[in-house]
Chains A and B, each alone.
Chain A
């Protein structure tokens, strides 16, 4: 393990027309860390994902990944450098099968079609969906779609994986399956950032959480400690400051 953090975000600002979605955010992510981003809707968590992954163009600030600045790079270049993400609304390639969804991402790492396909099959197996490989993704349940999204993100062979609200909208019977996939990912030593509303997941998996509120960082630290802070309880859990 090198001393330098894998990801350094400094004074990040994202401005949409009239709205300042991120207003000077700075944080680090260490190698192998499992970081949780929490906060109310519209606090800027997904925007932070977007800015890091190149889906959203930062207005100001720097993002350094593995020692090199990446802010403002095109999304596919950032993906090639080793940052993968999933989306809150899944966003699979709807006219492709599950296997094709993963293969197309794997093909950015493997020149040969055969190798890409094998890798994709392997990944689908890894998330427990080998039996659904040839299904059109539109026919899959939301939980299965989210697993395909994870496999697709992994097919990029990332060093940093960002998962946006994996557990929301998941049927009860799929819950433990997805949780075990997430736990497996953590155990492989991959660096992970998750946006999640379900505190049980945050408490169980994360090493550290950052609380966003109104485009700024409100608090940072161990999940339970952070939740005990009055300011966090006030904005996030809606309790008045005692």
Chain B
């Protein structure tokens, strides 16, 4: 029974049910719903990012590459060829995987800071290309899809609630996958590679292969978020696809919440995306810039206080509180790092 309570599958199921119920009692209006959809989408992207960055130690500051490619592929296929989203998905996945392979080529050899820089430069390069190749991409103006009549079977909803549940399904699936990978032999190898690549190689682990595979999986998942994002917004441009802000909006929730933890990216996205979206001038009427200042200060403060992330801070806070209240029995258990 306690095993069941501690199992990540139970946690993920509980989480999914709770979030699925929110629109019925907690989310009051379409404005908040819009923020929730964006937060869920970025939580999903951050979870995908976490798979390679958190477990594999391969910190990509260019996951927007896969997000943007997914969004652009869908937008172009829908606009130019009249395909529906389901036909676009395999194409988006393929393109993202090919891009990840190209990125893995240098990174398998370099790792560390070099990979951060290469991935960051690669996403900026794609931003340039998308702006330049305006015959295909519409250039800086981007692609605006005509909404047309709603078709739920093609993920085009009249009520944004449909997008909310698509985002939730993505996030739940990714969380389940992350938990499964963490417990698998593959996850163990990834964590070994993250902790010490040279020692991992000496233990018979093919370091480059673990890194490459984790990047491919992560890229494929991230491209799906790009597809879902496009279905929701019906618009994409080079900066919102590949820009440095998108890159950081994918990475930051995981880094803020706790790299390598199951719930870190979700917590991080909830906090950061809410802050960024609610302090947005369009939403709150506050002057432009304030939201992102708060965003940045929060990240800096947390990182200097607890580099392991908000989940760790929260857990030690809870443990502290639990001991204070004398009910330390449950919270004081040494939580297995890998599954929290």
**A75 on interface, CB distance cutoff 8 Å:** yes
Given A95-B191, A104-B205, check contact A75 B198 (CB 8 Å). Answer: yes
- In the bound complex, residues from chain B placing their C-beta under 8 Å from that of A105 are 203-205
Any chain B CB within 8 A of the CB of A136?
yes
Across the interface, B201 reaches (CB within 8 A) one of A55, A113, A155, namely A55
Query: A126 an interface residue at 8 Å Cβ cutoff?
Result: no
B69 in the interface, Cβ–Cβ < 8 Å? Answer: no
B195–A96 touching, CB < 8 Å: yes
Residues of chain B within 8 A (CB-CB) of A84 are: 202-203
Given the complex, which residues of B lie within 8 Å of A96, measured CB to CB? 188, 191-192, 195
Q: Once the chains are docked, how many angstroms separate the CA of A80 from the CA of B201? A: 10
Which residue of A is nearest B186, CB measured?
Answer: A107
- Of A12-20, A35-43, A85-93, A165-173, the one contacting chain B is A85-93
Interface size class of A (residues with CB under 8 A): 20 to 34
Q: Is A79 a contact of B202 with CB atoms below 8 Å? A: yes
Known: A55-B201, A75-B198. A103 touches B206 (CB 8 A): no
Cβ B188 vs Cβ A100 within 8 A = yes
CB contacts (< 8 Å) of A75 on chain B: these are 198, 201-202, 207
Q: How far is the CB of B189 from chain A (nearest CB, A)?
A: 6
| A residues 47-99 in Cβ contact with B at 8 Å | 53-55, 74-76, 79-80, 84-85, 87, 91-96
Residues of A within 8 Å of B203, CB to CB, are: 76, 79, 84, 104-105, 108, 152-153, 155-156
**A195 interface contact, C-beta 8 A:** no
- What are the residues of chain B within 8 A of A55 when measuring CB–CB? 198, 201-202
The interface residues of chain A lying within 8 Å CB-to-CB of B338 are: 95
A53 near B191 (CB under 8 angstroms)? no
Instruction: Choose from A80, A103, A113 the contact partner of B204 (Cβ within 8 Å).
Output: A80
- The smallest C-beta distance from A187 to any residue of chain B, in angstroms, reads 24
Q: Contacts A96-B192, A107-B185, A113-B185 given: A91-B204 contact, CB under 8 Å?
A: no
Find out whether the CB atom of A116 lies under 8 angstroms from the CB atom of B185. yes
B191 in contact with A108 (CB, 8 Å): no
Contact (Cβ within 8 A) B201 A93: no
- Residues of A contacting B201 with CB < 8 Å? 54-55, 74-76, 79
Residues of B contacting A85 with CB < 8 Å?
A: 202
| B121 interface contact, C-beta 8 A | no
- Which residues of A are at the interface with B, using a C-beta cutoff of 8 A? 53-55, 74-76, 79-80, 84-85, 87, 91-96, 100-101, 103-105, 107-109, 113, 116, 136, 152-153, 155-156
9 A-B contact pairs sorted by A residue (CB < 8 Å): A75-B202, A76-B202, A84-B203, A91-B198, A92-B195, A94-B195, A107-B185, A107-B189, A108-B203
